[in-house]
Amino acid sequence: MKKQEIVTFKVDRNLFEIIQGMPNRSEFIRSAVLAALEGVCPLCNGTGILTPNQKQHWDDFSEAHSMETCEDCQERYLVCSCAEHHHK
């Protein structure tokens, strides 16, 4: 069995009370962290800020791509200007 590491973090009183009664809160927290990591921006790794080099790469990329908004779900997505198929 792999050695497991322990991670601790602070929560406010309200969150503490919510998770306090969970039968397996460690498993719940592990699952929540893994689910959150699946949604992290692959470009900025969740910081919300591009480094100068990342910004230059983005500028180069965006010359042949645009941002559009889905008419169905209202979420923004990337479109390649040379792509034949549109998001659906």
Can you tell me the mean pLDDT for 42-59?
Answer: 92
As a whole number of angstroms, the distance between CA 22 and CA 66 comes to 44
For the chain, domain boundaries: 13-80
- State the pLDDT confidence band at 83, using cuts at 50, 70 and 90: low
- State the pLDDT confidence band at 82, using cuts at 50, 70 and 90: confident
The pLDDT score that the predictor gives to residue 86 is 52
Residue 84 pLDDT exceeds 80: no
What's the distance, CA 26 to chain centroid? Answer: 21
The pLDDT score that the predictor gives to residue 71 is 95
pLDDT digits (tens, 9 = 90+) for 54-75: 999 999 999 999 999 999 999 9
For residue 42, give the amino acid letter. P
